Structure 1
Amino acid sequence: MSQKKLVLIVGGGFAGRRAERLLRDEFDVTLVDAKGFFEYTPSALRCMVEPNYAERCVIPQPQRVVIAAVESINLENEQIDESRAKGVAHLNNGTTLAFDYCLLCLGSSYVAPIKPDPMNASTASDRVEAYQRECERIQEAEDIVIVGGGTVGVELAAEIVGKWPKKKNVTLINSQGRLLSRMPEAAGRYAQQWLETRGCDMILQDRVMDWGNETAGNARRIVTKNGRVITAALLYSCIGFEHCSAPLAKLFPSAVSERGAVIVNDQLQVKGMPGVFAVGDCTNTGEEKNALNADLQASLAAENIRRLARGAALQTFPSGVCHGAWEPPSIACVSLYKWHGTMQFNGLVINGRLPTVVKHMIENLQAAPDQHPEWRRSVWRC
């Protein structure tokens, strides 16, 4: 019988997979995921216009992963040992999983099909079929409206006008005066010029007031605050995601914010639950919610579980994984279809073809680490 302490990781995305690899040699780790697949989400928008690309981005989970949804998490009424959580997770298949430590990597949900709710059961084939259906809708649509000028809205517009240059009426509506407002201005200017050159219509400093009604075979009539009226056969809302926190909120509502985020401290421990950690999109931390920061947080949480188990002082985020820095590096890479993009590294902006090369290299290292030779996994760990 194993003498190792039990670690339960909920969520098999970037953070969950990272933490599982870091902890499985020292602990008895169980990774639970509602989906039967891992998806490299930075390439999801490409898959909407080229469904065959999903074959490299949607990867079945390893057999060691428990495919089930966690409905709720409960702790023992009396936590005698504060160095561990000692609780159980109740799964939707009727089973329970005991744990000494728990790491919540619950992720976030976006408007489907861009990013489905990670807590809902689905398979890799389901996901690929969803991309195929969406590509057919885009192919058939002549007038497409995208609301939101952040990374998702810009990349989606770029994928459509890149795949069908000047063959579709694509309109991008953004409430701010420029695109990519969370990146330096040079990035937003380049993206806007690239899109406009390829026929994308920009409506800036305006917002949708009437989203219209979606009816079979009929286009929506969209009205903006400034009185613009746009017809859309397809409408994509790219104005933000929702935190996933349902398994925790059910029994511990005080650990979830009004906006649905899991509340954590600087050591990434869940509020009032020292042996339970949370990382990534589901949390209320202030950094950019992206794969890099999810990976960094997973590394810190894994180290803090080790430290908690041996009674050592915990590290704080981000200084514990960023060489003492008080904030993580600001890194972003936005694709403009296949051969162009804009990339930020703190205050430095690089536009053109290099960002696409970098993004492709990261995809090759991250998409399927269990399938790569050891040297590739080592490169990513560095």
Structure 2
Amino acid sequence: MISDYIHLALTILGFLPKFAATLLLQRISALAHRRTYKALPEDQIKNVVVVGGSFGGFKAVQRLAATLPTGYRVVLVEKNSHLNYVFSFPRFSVLKGHEQDAFIPYSGLSKGAPEGIFRHVQDTVTEVTERFVELKSGEKLRYEYLVIATGTSSRLPSKVVSTDSRDAEHELRGMQDEIQQARRIAIVGGGAVGVELASDIKDFYPEKEVTLVHSRAQLLSSFGPRLQNHVAETLTDMGIILRLNARPKFSSQTSTLHFENGEEEAYELIIPCTGQQPNSGIISAMSPASISKETSHIQVKPTMQVADDMFPRIFAFGDVAATGGTKMARAAIFQSEVVLDNIHKMIKGSKDLSTYTPNVVFESAIKLTLGKTRVALYMHKENGREILVSANFGAEEGDAKKQWAFFGADVKELEERKAHDDSIAPYCNA
């Protein structure tokens, strides 16, 4: 609808001036900060430790490195060698030859940061105490403030298991091969990942039979009916079989779905796209009161501090936390600003902390791919109006490569890596 295009444009244009002004002020402030921050000896440095370097964690570290006063340092503890651009994982589980694009170096975090303000540790947290973060390597990091942005765990096509980018690329190639070889495929879970994977498989391999199974009456249960109906119609038009209100049982040892009505369906490949488990275990032993018994999320105050009053210097945000906002990267970035602001206020001794209020319109907006080039842009406004724009401007290889600059990485490094991989491929396959 023309009115949707207009409403979408006006909504974005209304947000852009404030966003641009904020970004400009941040850059000016960062320039001044580089001139005033002074590196101190190790025994005089207080650490702000951020655990988790995905979208929200990355932004939090980047902003802390541009704002912390002399005497403080931000330390990123992240298990992965590269930032995983998970939005491209469904596409790169199907499309071959672009999986390197989805693993972005963390080199951009240190660009422009004053010397001594940032440290990056690739490691896994094994325990958190009131003053220390203990790592798998045996190192103990003393912290003044701790920020938990560990997100969730799941399997491909949502997440990879490997922490090294090369091994993670191998995981994606493995799923590419499985999908290529299978003729009859079932995808269980009709959220965004399941929808994108199903449409990608059918668009890249139209000869395959693809079934999408979902436990509820509508796909994309977290979104409004306009998007739900549009997606269901698009997938049906593509030839994808939809089985709704179905919660089949299956195991990794078999390729059969067992439905509640007694029906059984055999497939050559079943891909689960359900179950995001919050990575909240790092503080569960120290503060069981902070963990939701129902969802396992870390319970937080509106200030993003953990709900346990015994630990006011520990913050949590993003998908791991029960923030009241959506479980979207954009929401985590908004929340990271509240964390940043409150750490600065606490450093200055202020007790008047900022609070987080979900920005419904922008935090819950989504760009959904529906095959090679079709996309659906969706917003749900506070007055209840749904904005849906369907377009055909997507790129077959996705958006991952374009994101390297956003995260401060040099895309030339990607091209050099691809050229190197291509040059050794014949020897690897020999």
TM-score class, shorter:
0.7 to 0.9
2:306: which partner in 1?
270
1:6 aligns with 2:50: no
Task: Give distance in 1, aligned partners of 2:183 and 2:405.
Answer: 33
2:176: which partner in 1?
135
What is the aligned counterpart of 1:180 among 202, 220, 226? Answer: 220
Task: Give distance in 2, aligned partners of 1:34 and 1:196.
Answer: 40
What is the aligned counterpart of 1:28 among 73, 79, 91? Answer: 73
What is the aligned counterpart of 2:290 among 241, 248, 255? Answer: 255
AA of the residue aligned to 2:55: F
Task: Give distance in 1, aligned partners of 2:229 and 2:246.
Answer: 18
Pairing of 1:234-245 with structure 2 (within 5 A): 234-245=269-280
User: Compared with structure 1, are the counterparts of its residues 363 and 329 closer, same or farther at alpha carbon in structure 2 (3 Å cutoff)?
Assistant: farther
Pairing of 1:278-317 with structure 2 (within 5 A): 278-312=316-350, 313-317=352-356
Of the structure 1 ranges 55-64 and 178-187, higher mean CA displacement relative to structure 2 is found in: 55-64
Task: Give distance in 2, aligned partners of 1:30 and 1:51.
Answer: 35
3-state SS of the aligned residue for 1:32?
strand
Higher helix share: 2
TM-score (norm 1): 0.84
User: Compared with structure 1, are the counterparts of its residues 291 and 21 closer, same or farther at alpha carbon in structure 2 (3 Å cutoff)?
Assistant: same
3-state SS of the aligned residue for 1:371?
coil
Task: Give distance in 1, aligned partners of 2:344 and 2:234.
Answer: 48
CA contact (8 A) 2:290 2:299 kept: yes
User: Compared with structure 1, are the counterparts of its residues 51 and 314 closer, same or farther at alpha carbon in structure 2 (3 Å cutoff)?
Assistant: farther
3-state SS of the aligned residue for 1:154?
helix
CA contact (8 A) 2:89 2:156 kept: no
CA positional deviation for 1:4: 5.2
1:211 aligns with 2:220: no
CA positional deviation for 1:98: 0.9
CA positional deviation for 1:360: 6.1
Pairing of 1:154-193 with structure 2 (within 5 A): 154-165=195-206, 167-193=207-233
3-state SS of the aligned residue for 1:214?
coil
1:109 aligns with 2:153: yes
1:199: which partner in 2?
239
Of the structure 1 ranges 47-56 and 270-279, higher mean CA displacement relative to structure 2 is found in: 47-56
1:144 aligns with 2:188: no
Pairing of 1:48-59 with structure 2 (within 5 A): 48-59=93-104
The CA deviation string for residues 196-240 of structure 1, in whole angstroms up to 9 with x for no partner, is 2222111112221x315625xxxx221212343211221122223
CA positional deviation for 1:338: 2.4
CA positional deviation for 1:251: 2.3
TM-score (norm 2): 0.75
CA positional deviation for 1:327: 8.1
2:372: which partner in 1?
338
CA contact (8 A) 1:142 1:233 kept: yes
1:94 aligns with 2:134: no
CA positional deviation for 1:328: 6.1
CA positional deviation for 1:349: 1.3
RMSD: 2.4
CA positional deviation for 1:149: 1.3
CA contact (8 A) 1:51 1:128 kept: no
Of the structure 1 ranges 186-195 and 99-108, higher mean CA displacement relative to structure 2 is found in: 186-195
What is the aligned counterpart of 1:40 among 68, 82, 85? Answer: 85
User: Compared with structure 1, are the counterparts of its residues 20 and 159 closer, same or farther at alpha carbon in structure 2 (3 Å cutoff)?
Assistant: same
2:414: which partner in 1?
none
CA contact (8 A) 2:328 2:364 kept: no
CA positional deviation for 1:276: 0.6
User: Compared with structure 1, are the counterparts of its residues 113 and 173 closer, same or farther at alpha carbon in structure 2 (3 Å cutoff)?
Assistant: closer
Task: Give distance in 2, aligned partners of 1:362 and 1:342.
Answer: 18
1:353 aligns with 2:392: yes
Task: Give distance in 2, aligned partners of 1:5 and 1:353.
Answer: 50
What is the aligned counterpart of 2:57 among 16, 35, 48? Answer: 16
CA contact (8 A) 1:149 1:180 kept: yes
2:260: which partner in 1?
225
Higher strand share: 1
CA contact (8 A) 2:88 2:400 kept: no
3-state SS of the aligned residue for 2:339?
helix
User: Compared with structure 1, are the counterparts of its residues 367 and 249 closer, same or farther at alpha carbon in structure 2 (3 Å cutoff)?
Assistant: farther
The CA deviation string for residues 302-361 of structure 1, in whole angstroms up to 9 with x for no partner, is 111111111231111126xx5xxx88643112111221121212221112225x48x967
AA of the residue aligned to 1:336: L
CA positional deviation for 1:287: 2.3
Aligned length: 346
AA of the residue aligned to 2:145: Y
User: Compared with structure 1, are the counterparts of its residues 243 and 260 closer, same or farther at alpha carbon in structure 2 (3 Å cutoff)?
Assistant: same
Q: Which structure would you say has the larger Rg? A: 2
Task: Give distance in 1, aligned partners of 2:324 and 2:198.
Answer: 27
AA of the residue aligned to 2:225: E
AA of the residue aligned to 1:269: Q
CA positional deviation for 1:39: 0.9
AA of the residue aligned to 1:90: E
CA contact (8 A) 1:113 1:130 kept: no
CA contact (8 A) 1:264 1:283 kept: yes
CA contact (8 A) 1:8 1:101 kept: yes
CA positional deviation for 1:299: 1.7
AA of the residue aligned to 1:124: S
